[in-house]
Chain A
Amino acid sequence: MVVKYQYAEPTFSAKGTQMRDILANYIAVVSRRLPDDVTSKLKELAKVEVDPLQELIYDTMKENQLLAEKMKRPSCQDTGALQFFVKVGAKFPLLAELNDILKSAVYRATKEAPLRHNAVETFDEYNTGLNIGNGIPSVFVDLDGDSDRCEMYVYMAGGGCTLPGEAMVLMPGQGYEGVVRFVMDRMTSYGINACPPLLVGVGVATSVETAAMNSKLALMRRVDSVSPNANAAKLEHLLEDGINNIGLGPQGVGGRKSVMGVNVVNTARHPSTIGVAVSTGCWSHRRGLINFDADLNYDLPYNKGVEL
């Protein structure tokens, strides 16, 4: 007899309830409104793709986003498995409640937005019907000393784009040429199906999990951002040109461009290894950023003019 996933919303402090409600609202906004950097990049790319088929696809995309905003609906039916990348200080007053707040926010947003039910329990193989489950949403926390602030990326990780990421560990003899090969091969295989124009996140580190995490963090950066490391920035630029020249076009049907951008995030490696990972964001790259202070004043750097 399978014991189904049960969820009862916990009782939060007054502040906890407030934060949960802000986040539930924000998740619904993220589901229908692309971040400003993505919107402006798509506009730029649409001007470059002038053949009838490509133009038809870009026109459909533009119309879809207008309809989503007007009808207050999620712009893509795959509203993803929710992921939160959180940087929080030890003095943030809601640290103890944070995990529960995030789960409750997803639970609420799922009903209100509404979001698709995207949590299937493994082995027992049933959909929880709640869009939350064991380990969903995924919460990744980076402790930020004794600060009293909480900054978090909210990401709707879709089943066709960013969830089927890949990572592997190269031998140093394979060098950065091996990194290039790894990234480029993914572009002509799963990249085609990942809804181009893509945001390509590349992680370089020491193992599969560190590289994979870096590749995800790379997707949290703005599409036109540049790595602070000169060589990594050079690689971003080279890969962007190279992948564009493959000419995947919108939806992989061919065109002049393939990507919205390539972001590389790197950390140190063991002398014996080069960990590399690729995660791709689709054109409908629904990621947000919300920064709270201790009093729950917040700003939304990726969504100019949005009030929750």
Chain B
Amino acid sequence: MKTWHLTTPIEDADIDDIRIGDIVYLEGTLVTCRDVAHRRLVEEHRPLPVDVAKKAILHAGPIIRDLGNDQYEMVAVGPTTSMRMEKFEEEFIKQTGVKLIVGKGGMGPGTEAGCKKYHALHLVYPAGNAVFAATKVEKIVDAQWKDLGMPETLWVCKVKDYGPLIVSIDTQGNNLFEQKKVEYNRRKEEEIAIINKEVKFIK
């Protein structure tokens, strides 16, 4: 478990030695981007209104306080389930040149391929810790696609010391959660066999 500090813009060389299970802290630009934004880019062919090349996106729908005059305060921001974006993510990475995809839980083969081909990482922020994360957001500098409502707007955040981020897919396509799932499923079958001896309540 190595610890890394990354600053946007992120170059390929900055992340090529980072491996699954490592910890990353981020400084720079982090843009919230989730379900409908992915769909608009990939299926509706609408260009993303924020340039995320060499930057980071966060699968999240934050709580924002509207301060008026296009000023916003980040109240709470934790990640949402990344797997919902799996069907779009490879294409998303290809089209946008994003380098870090931050979310919750693992992602699948499409994202693995995207991370490998285009040099990107998927990382998880410990979900539920939304106030801690909000204190790492120095400023919300832009908001796009506001028609999608508070959770789905692209909130462009300037962050400092944002983390801990646990690397779940690295640039070689290694996948932490998929490796873990093999273990979990093996242990599950052993446990089911033990429990089933004890639950013959219908006789």
CA distance A172 to B128 in the complex (A): 39
Question: Which residues on A sit within 8 Å (CB–CB) of B23?
Answer: 53, 56
Decide: A127 and B151 in contact? CB cutoff 8 A: yes
- Please judge, given known A-B contacts A76-B76, A176-B200, whether A53 and B129 are in contact too, CB under 8 Å: no
A96 within 8 A of B: no
Interface size class, chain A: 35 or more
Decide: A53 and B166 in contact? CB cutoff 8 A: yes
Question: Which residues on A sit within 8 Å (CB–CB) of B194?
Answer: 238, 242
1/0 contact string of A114-154 vs chain B (CB within 8 Å): 11111010000011010000000000000000000000000
A50 within 8 A of B: no
- Please judge, given known A-B contacts A160-B81, A245-B191, whether A73 and B180 are in contact too, CB under 8 Å: no
Interface size class, chain B: 35 or more
Decide: B63 and A176 in contact? CB cutoff 8 A: no
Decide: B126 and A251 in contact? CB cutoff 8 A: yes
Question: Which residues on A sit within 8 Å (CB–CB) of B113?
Answer: none
Nearest B-chain residue to A188, judged by Cβ: B184
Decide: B63 and A114 in contact? CB cutoff 8 A: yes
B184 touches which of A52, A74, A247 (Cβ 8 Å): A247
Distance in Å: Cβ of B121 to nearest Cβ of chain A: 15
Q: Which of B1, B63, B176, B190: most chain A Cβ within 10 A?
A: B63
Decide: B65 and A282 in contact? CB cutoff 8 A: no
Chain A binder among B7-15, B46-54, B131-139: B131-139
Decide: A129 and B150 in contact? CB cutoff 8 A: yes
Distance in Å: Cβ of B66 to nearest Cβ of chain A: 9
A253 touches which of B81, B134, B166 (Cβ 8 Å): B166
Decide: A180 and B188 in contact? CB cutoff 8 A: no
CA distance A82 to B41 in the complex (A): 31
Question: Which residues on B sit within 8 Å (CB–CB) of A283?
Answer: 128
B108 within 8 A of A: no
- Please judge, given known A-B contacts A193-B83, A195-B104, A250-B126, whether A52 and B1 are in contact too, CB under 8 Å: yes
Distance in Å: Cβ of B112 to nearest Cβ of chain A: 17
Decide: A57 and B126 in contact? CB cutoff 8 A: yes
1/0 contact string of A224-259 vs chain B (CB within 8 Å): 000000010011001101110111101111100000
Decide: B148 and A78 in contact? CB cutoff 8 A: no
B110 within 8 A of A: no
- Please judge, given known A-B contacts A75-B76, A77-B63, A180-B196, whether A251 and B191 are in contact too, CB under 8 Å: no
Question: Which residues on A sit within 8 Å (CB–CB) of B152?
Answer: 127
- Please judge, given known A-B contacts A188-B185, A234-B198, whether A53 and B132 are in contact too, CB under 8 Å: no
A284 within 8 A of B: yes
Decide: A56 and B77 in contact? CB cutoff 8 A: no
1/0 contact string of A166-206 vs chain B (CB within 8 Å): 00000010011101110011011000110100000000000
A73 touches which of B75, B80, B81, B202 (Cβ 8 Å): B75
Nearest A-chain residue to B23, judged by Cβ: A56
- Please judge, given known A-B contacts A77-B60, A114-B75, whether A188 and B131 are in contact too, CB under 8 Å: no
Decide: A242 and B195 in contact? CB cutoff 8 A: yes
A116 touches which of B63, B129, B148, B187 (Cβ 8 Å): B63
Give chain A's interface residues, CB within 8 Å of chain B.
52-53, 56-57, 60-61, 63-64, 67-68, 71, 73-79, 114-118, 120, 126-127, 129, 159-160, 172, 175-177, 179-181, 184-185, 187-188, 192-193, 195, 231, 234-235, 238-239, 241-243, 245-248, 250-254, 282-284
**Further contacts, 12 of them, CB under 8 A, given A181-B192, A231-B201, A253-B180:** A57-B126, A68-B131, A78-B130, A127-B149, A172-B202, A176-B201, A179-B199, A188-B184, A193-B81, A251-B126, A253-B124, A253-B166
Please list the 9 inter-chain residue pairs (A to B) with the smallest Cβ-Cβ separation, ordered nearest first.
A127-B149, A193-B105, A242-B191, A64-B129, A284-B128, A176-B199, A64-B132, A77-B130, A77-B76
